[in-house]
Chains A and B, each alone.
Chain A
Amino acid sequence: MRSQILPAVLLAVTVFLLVYGVDLMNERRRAAEQAPPPPLPTGTDVPQPDPTHSLEVYNPVTFMIERFLVPASETGLEEDFVSPVWITIIPRGRPLATDLTPLDLRERWWEIGNTTTDVYLFAPGTPENVRLILEFVPLVGDQTEARIYVSAGETGLFGTRTVEYSFAGHRFRVLSNRGFPYIRVYPKDGWWVNQQGQTNYNLRVLIDGALPPGGYPYEKQLVDGTVDWEVRVGSIEPGSPSWQTTLIQYDPSPTRAYARFGASTRMPESSPPFRVSDPFMPSFPYLDLSLGSLEIQKKSSERLYKRLRELGAGINLWEKNPSPFYYDMAWQQLQLKGFVGIQTAGSYYYNSYLLPPIISFESPYAFYNFAPDVRTNPDRRQVHLLVRAEYAPLEDSFAHQTHKDRSNLRYAWKTEEEDLWRYNIKMAGSYRYTEEIQIGNISLIGVPPSTYPQWVISKRWPVITFIESVNGTSGSEGIYYYDAQTPQSLPWLDGYQDEVPLYFEVPDLEPGTGLSTTSRSNVSLVVDYRGEYSASYFRKPELYFSPLDQRLHLLHADGGLWYVAGGEKLGDHRILRMHNLRKDAYIDGWTLEYVPAQSPPEGVDIEEWSPRAWPGEIEQALYAFDNYLLYSGAEGTELRQVSDYEPARFTITPPTDAATWNEFRQRLRPFRGRESDPTALREWMDQFDGTTLISSTAPLSTVQATKTGFHFELALPPGFRSYGACQQPGVEPGTYLVFVDDAGGCRFEPAAIPSPQVSVLPATLTRLEPGFIYVRVVNEHSGDLIGVRVVLQPITPGGKESRTLYHTVDLQADDDITVGFQWPPPAIEVEALEAGPWSFIGRAVNRQGLILSSSEPVEIMVTPIPAGNPIDIIRRSLALMTPVLMVLVIGAGTSLMAFAFWQQWSATGPEPALPDAARFDRDGDQNNAN
């Protein structure tokens, strides 16, 4: 019986262990997958409480204050808006005064308790809803510590759950998170506010848990008694913080890309006087309980929103910095807002994935104000120039496909409207930081704030885009669109791609009003945004002002596009495309195009798709070549010779400091409000008087710039007029190519169907070996051939047509070019690559598919590759004498096996099998009947 029960019991135990073991294995696997955290630079020694101070709890007092009260009469709502906060002061070590009045409690409650031993409970809404506890603890050496307790909910966000506590035995204890405080604050010299009312901004802050508000990506940092972050704040003068550093102490996910280090400072030359929100608790001025961005209230009532703003509720960076420990009662979260401020004038910070001294990611990010009184006027908080680097040095393992340093810059500035970004330059390259910067207690390698803009503008950037927000863009971070460095452009930047990324010339057209609505903003433009690019720039950024459209352009741009508002049908788009036909420093062509509506491809989520600025139907066109302006539109075509046209009224570099910024604005100011209408190109031309050389009611087509001038194809209907140098007696109505040269010459040639000469050149080819077959194309015709396909038709030795190959080329008049086709062609069927006499026919095919001309078949012998036979393989795979050895070895082994088998499998009968119960002798050998 026992023998039956035991296996069953063991089976049950096994099943249990299996289930438990799987859990354990999973946990260990997760632990095993994480490497130990790297050593981190600063110590986390925590000062000890002073045991001589009594922390015995006396009579707590609870009262309510109306944090923000707005009567219904002021808002039009049905009820008053009230955000009550219940405060409990727990005196320790001595009782509170007994003669406190409600007014005392409402008006000066912070003076009733102290900031040495007392505890404060904050409960928004109802007294039970304690969300934040502030405890003061005296330390050894007359120091003091402020402890902030908050509790995280299921989302991991701190402040979303009540904090549990108890008064058992006249001792106050926090029960949540096993009593560990979330944040500890240590003031240097032990005071929070001095007698002059100035706040002490020399602080050390230890955070046990994720950075506020918590949650992703720091969800593994728990409130467990281990310091996870250390924040240091420093100031040069009391009441005004100068710098702040934030450094991770415990890194639970060393391979995850998240910020591990932050450093910020206030740039002396560009910072207004420090201003922070009025403290909620003046004796501890770093804390606030307020309403956040007020977006909830704004949705409820605009009047309420405005009134709350007037009361100082909410956050308005352009007025004041929010308090650093900011409890948002609307979202019920504790947030760390930063001591020195963020993204306002004078801000300069690093937000790095890597630990110093080598930094990465958003490093640095600088905000400049160039007003002359910025250092004395506290209202000067707006930013005039921002410079943001997305930096990934070689050491940055979190960066995408890094094998070199990457620097990707956003350089945005405003002009006249202080709240609207106007221009933006994006630059991508590979410049490494080299200078040592000291921010507070941390030394890192970066770019000094005072020379940062100059550093950027002085570099020759390989890829660049220039964006103008025609109506200005609000926000604190400049313009997001039309980036120079994107996942689509990285292969081009790294030299792995031969073609310019398509989005430069054909960006996405996003709906919206300036803020991105999809994840593709970096390859998009929105309405009223104008972008220009150069994919191989390698110059210092420079702009010029065009007298035609009265706008700034990027010098040496390859082209650009303006997403013009409008369109007749929903989803249709109108764009103004800019061309640089002569490949020089200036835009010389503008085409207003109508792009029809598009649909997302099958299977693509429409939320993540945008239509693209494909070439559309040209409604108007304007070209400017030296002294000639050429316009075409619905009303016809005009070629005008002008005398006072210069492609650039002036050139200018982006501003880098107050002086250049003011100069920049000064240069542009006369032209404000006089910018040309992008849908009225005729008016652009009419700014310049001149002589009409050609006037036709028909539109032109195929404008081409040449080395000596330009030409275009134009239909001349009856009644056309030509004047001056273009007056050609005897020119009948018809379609002509009009040639205009720089010397002023003008001639007409009838446009005929071009017929280029095509021939296949002799070649020597070996099967499977790389080679070239050349096709020569000569355009003897005076007309251009744009988008011609040069086709190569291979015919196998068996007479079968193989897959055709083609290249698309643009042929100008009199061009004589040779197009090379790689042999063997990529991806051709291997069975088709036989050796023997192949024939090749060359053809020229126009865009409509019409064969313009064809060559005679040329026979080219493809010789077989003399390899692959067994002797060659043997010769390659081993030395001369080895075959002999091989034969001997394998022969010997095989013979041995054969002989052994022959003998073993003998004819005299099978060997008797061993009996079931073996008998063993003393040595354990098996008795064998053999």
Chain B
Amino acid sequence: MRTEPDSTRPQALPPVSRNIPAWLVLAPLLYMLFLGGYFVVRFEGRWAEVDTTLFTSAIRNIMQSGHLVPASGEVYPGGYGYQSISFFLVRMTGLEVRQLQQLIYPLLASLVVLPAWLLYREVSGSARGATISAMLLFTQPEFLFVIIRGSHEKFTRTYMLLCLFLLFRSFKLRDTSRLFGLHVGLFYLLAFAFASTNNAMAVSFFVSIGTAMGMRWVQEKVWWLRTRLARWMRKTPPPDLGPLFSPDVQRLFYITLICIGLTYVVLLYIYPYGLSNVSFFTRLGQESVSVVTEGTTTKVNPYSYVKTSWTSLPFYLLVSSSNWILLGGAALIWLWKGVRWFWKGDTLQTESEWLPWLLFASLGVQAVGSVVADMGGGVGNIQVRLFPSISIMSVMLVGPALTRWRPVRLFRPVRLALTAAIALMAVMAGLKVTNEPMLSNKWMFYHQDEVTALEWCDTHLHYAHIWTEFDERLWVAFGMTQGESRRENRYLMNFLRPERVRNVLITDITRLRSSRMKIPLPLPPDSFRVYDNGEAQLYHLRPRTRHQQ
């Protein structure tokens, strides 16, 4: 079914100024290089966080065992793609896994700009729109953090962006069989890679396409009803109903079907270990159902970490403001387009118009579901995991709109303000993505002396429980630098000292954090100091019974 021409489309526009230097289209890429460099330099390469450490362990495990699913040790259930590529890079370059994760990948994240630029060029129809959209996307801290750190998302987001690019482009190539086939084939290849790297995220993406399919079908039928009603009122012949499933709907249906099938193949035959992730969806559904039907919610607020993770809420809102501005803007544009389409009868002409609108809506459905599931408390902060996808879709709405927007009056002040906003967003992104210690309580950095102390613990203690920090900071530092304990020691984290712990590691940075978060050090004052390297001390609790050493 062909859509009707949009009578409200603007007329031919004046040509663009030719004074724009071409290299500026690379601005987002260069910015990402700077940002990646900043990420590394900020902590002199000594940073660690949970997912990065887990993937580091998983990569090392594969390298040591030679198996995709080693018999023991860390195995990532989401997929194997990231580990495989990293394994390849390590072997090719001779780097250590830690170096790849901490030093190289943050810089390599800049390559994500390329597929993003291509996608947004398809959506916006112009190189300028692509550049502006890319700038919007790559100043989103939630998006930046997940692609810069050492986890699968620098690849999975690339796959997602490329899939979207090929999808959009293939709609335009329906009349050119060879190119169409090439794009479709590449799309499924990337979908397969996506499912192999993280099956949960891939399924979310495929489901969003499927949801968009359903919405498109509804959209077409509703439009037909509306048009029929309008014509009935004007007493003109009704519009042709057309086929039950339009080519657009059919296309999306096939895509969903085949992509789900590819995921099945991956889960059932290639990487059955990933089946344990299936329970994630089951629990997600159960939690959501219980919240809706029984009203059972967790007493723990899954978003309470925001308050404790930052020195103050205003700081948090400031550094994450670009997220909210983008999301708010996208929601407004979505509503506005929906009103135009439904109320005023404008049609969303091209797939560049209706597909982003539908994808944003389908992800919105998932976001609402994730909030409901988070209220159930069992799964975790799923909404945070969805945010990068939502950012990508939001930019598809906001970017082109921003590119086309030209206020007649106050153009220069607006231009100045927007430029300042972009600059501010760029700075805030840099602060948030590194969890800037001056503003954040969630510190990612560690000192070499702390690692030395942990090495000493692991060499001299056996089956010991060692308190390291108020959170996972030193535990992940150990995992990143040393891997797993060689002597069955456990490195624990908590605000209080658990009963089983008789060894406490205190470092100068721990003291700083104690002071920052106003939490006392969990150290009995009469403990023995058994190790001290100036920066870090290990204390052993004084024995009080004959069973203690």
Which A residues form the contact surface with B (CB < 8 A)?
Answer: 3-4, 7, 10-11, 14, 17, 21, 24-25, 28-29, 31-33, 35, 403-404, 462, 491-498, 536, 538, 768-772, 820, 822-824, 826-828, 830-831, 833, 865, 867-868, 870, 872-874, 876-879, 882, 885-886, 889-890, 892-914, 916-918, 920, 924, 928-930
Contacts and interface: CB of A to CB of B under 8 A. Distances in A.
Interface residues of B, number: 110
**Ordered nearest first, which 8 A-B pairs have the shortest CB separation?**
A893-B34, A900-B27, A403-B463, A29-B275, A868-B515, A495-B548, A914-B125, A770-B525
A538 B545 CA distance: 12
B250 A3 contact: yes
A888 to B, nearest CB: 9
A71 to B, nearest CB: 63
A768 B17 contact: no
B546 A536 contact: yes
B128 interface: yes
B512 interface: yes
Given A770-B520, A889-B38, A907 B415 contact: yes
Nearest to B499: A496
B127 interface: yes
Interface stretch (B58-66, B338-346, B368-376, B419-427): B419-427
Nearest to B443: A877
Interface string B29-63: 01100110110011110000000000000000000
B426 A872 contact: no
Given A28-B275, A491-B499, A886-B38, A910 B264 contact: no
Interface string B516-528: 1111111111110
Given A3-B243, A7-B253, A889-B34, A904 B132 contact: yes
Contacts of B139: 897
Contacts of A896: 27, 30-31, 34
B534 interface: no
Interface in B388-419: 402-404, 406, 411-412, 415, 418-419
Interface string B499-520: 1101000001101101111111
Contacts of B24: 899-900, 903-904
A909 B13 contact: yes
A768 B521 contact: yes
Given A28-B272, A913-B126, A893 B422 contact: no
Nearest to A908: B17
A54 to B, nearest CB: 50
A151 B135 CA distance: 72
Nearest to A829: B518
A831 B519 CA distance: 9
B176 interface: yes
Contacts, number: 274
B12 interface: yes
Nearest to B516: A868
Contact of B499 (A497, A902, A904): A497
Contacts of A494: 500, 547
B415 A870 contact: no
Interface of B: 12-17, 19-21, 24, 27-28, 30-31, 34-35, 37-38, 41-44, 71, 124-129, 131-132, 135, 139, 172-173, 175-176, 179, 243-245, 249-250, 253-254, 257, 260-261, 264, 267-268, 272-273, 275-276, 278-279, 349-350, 402-404, 406, 411-412, 415, 418-420, 422-423, 426-427, 430, 437-438, 443, 445, 447, 463, 488, 496, 499-500, 502, 508-509, 511-512, 514-527, 543-549
Contacts of B518: 768, 830-831, 833
Contact of B268 (A25, A826, A914): A25
Given A824-B520, A898-B423, A29 B17 contact: no
Given A833-B518, A833-B520, A893 B38 contact: yes
Nearest to A898: B423
20 contacts: A7-B245, A10-B257, A17-B264, A31-B272, A492-B547, A496-B500, A867-B511, A868-B515, A876-B512, A894-B427, A898-B420, A901-B132, A901-B418, A904-B131, A904-B135, A905-B132, A908-B16, A909-B14, A912-B15, A929-B15
A910 B445 CA distance: 45
A867 B515 contact: yes
A391 B15 CA distance: 86
Nearest to B23: A900
Contact of A918 (B172, B418, B423): B172
A506 to B, nearest CB: 19
B499 to A, nearest CB: 6
A4 to B, nearest CB: 5
A498 B544 contact: yes
Contacts of B273: 32
A930 B257 contact: no
Contacts of B14: 908-909
Given A32-B272, A538-B546, A868-B512, A14 B179 contact: no
Contacts of A769: 511, 520-521
B547 A536 contact: yes
Contact of A906 (B20, B244, B276, B502): B20
Contacts of A35: 71
Contacts of A872: 512
Given A29-B275, A32-B273, A536-B546, A917 B172 contact: yes
